[in-house]
Amino acid sequence: MRRYINPHSVISEIRMARSARPNLAYILVEGISDQRLFTKFVERQYCKIKGVEGKSNVLFAIENLRKGNVKGVIAIIDQDYDSLLGKVNVAENVFVTDTHDIETMIIKTGDLSSFYAEYFDLDRMERVEKRWKTSFIQKVIQATRIIGNLRFVSEYHQLFLGFKGLRYKDFIDANYNVDCDKLILQAAININYSETWLLDDIKRKLMIEIQNRHDKWQVCCGHDLTNIIALALDRDFVGNFLGNSTARRVKGTTIEMALRLTYTKPQFMETDLFKAMTRWQENNPAWIIFAASSTQAA
């Protein structure tokens, strides 16, 4: 069971640490997986990363510390649907991912070749891609984009559809096409929201957003991406099994861990997130996040 981290305890820890190490920088992130990722990239003797469960808790903690005049603390949060909803981050010490979330940023800016080599039968993947006339990851993104648009519809119209525990096999076919009706029904049934006229209205709203052709990297949710990738490694899935001999029902969480492990600092340095954090360090020289060589490269 994942341990809940109270934002008040993190706030107290940072305040107390200031007396002993006034120049120790802190980065607040949304969870333990983000903490593990960014720990690879920072100067750990000068910078500490704390996972605070959830975006709202991160923002609560950073605002509380700001009001208390505690400096040298920044936060990294997922962009989610903020850009599509017109929400603008104005805090100079809060930084957002280039894309919808950490996972999509890794997939967009990273190199998936070593990840594929670990889990996939590359010859089988190549044959399937030739038949599809597109890459595996593009097929996954196409499917994820539809789910992401429904998530956006739910948030924009405050429908509160249920996406937790989605059974992706139930609405994705062998070629990674999404059955929108089955997807909507599953998300609606999760909250006992199954009147026919309501389902028709949700589908109409979904079709409008799909036609709007939102940026795929803003609308696709990383957890959907990794769970759909995992379908290709599930022998029980009716689709094209693409796993190698070591792949056995790999879960989406395992995919996310593998992506984090293969993501390198040079790849991270290409992101707008890194460049924005580097500018913050230049403007706040009392605190060090990245090595001098990294900031000069940016």
Q: Binning pLDDT at 50, 70 and 90, where does residue 1 land? A: very low
- CA 260, 261, 267: angle at the middle one, nearest 5? 70
pLDDT at 226 exceeding the cut of 60? yes
154 and 209 share a domain?
A: yes
235 and 173 share a domain?
A: yes
75 and 130 share a domain?
A: no
159 and 245 share a domain?
A: yes
200: in domain: yes
Q: Binning pLDDT at 50, 70 and 90, where does residue 297 land? A: low
- CA 116, 151, 79: angle at the middle one, nearest 5? 70
- Percentage helix, strand, coil, to 5, in the chain? 55, 5, 40
More confident residue, 145 or 295: 145
CA dihedral for 124, 126, 132, 137, sign (positive or negative): positive
177: in domain: yes
1: in domain: no
Do 109 and 266 form a contact (C-beta atoms < 8 A)? no
pLDDT tens-digit series, residues 23-56: 999 999 999 999 999 999 999 999 999 999 899 9
Strand partners, 73: 26
67: in domain: yes
Q: Binning pLDDT at 50, 70 and 90, where does residue 7 land? A: confident
Number of domains in the chain: 2
96 and 121 share a domain?
A: no
Q: Residue 190: its pLDDT value, please?
A: 65
**Residue 209's closest CA among 220, 224, 197, 222?**
220
48 and 118 share a domain?
A: no
126 and 256 share a domain?
A: yes
Instruction: Give Cα 16 distance to the centre of its chain.
Output: 31
pLDDT at 104 exceeding the cut of 80? yes
147 and 237 share a domain?
A: yes
pLDDT tens-digit series, residues 229-250: 999 888 777 677 899 887 777 8
Name, in order, each residue with C-beta under 8 angstroms of 98's C-beta and a sequence gap of 6 or more: 79, 105, 108, 109, 217, 271, 272, 273
d(CA 96, CA 76): 6
219 and 235 share a domain?
A: yes
The rounded percent of the chain whose pLDDT value lies above 90 is 77
127 and 46 share a domain?
A: no
115 and 253 share a domain?
A: yes
63 and 173 share a domain?
A: no
**Residue 111's closest CA among 222, 221, 270, 250?**
270
For the domain that residue 61 is a member of, what is the CATH number?
3.40.1360
Tell me which residue range forms the domain holding 248.
Answer: 111-262
Tell me, yes or no, if the pTM score tops 0.85: yes
pLDDT at 2 exceeding the cut of 60? no
Strand partners, 25: 47
The neighbour count for residue 165, using CB atoms within 10 Å, is 7
192: in domain: yes
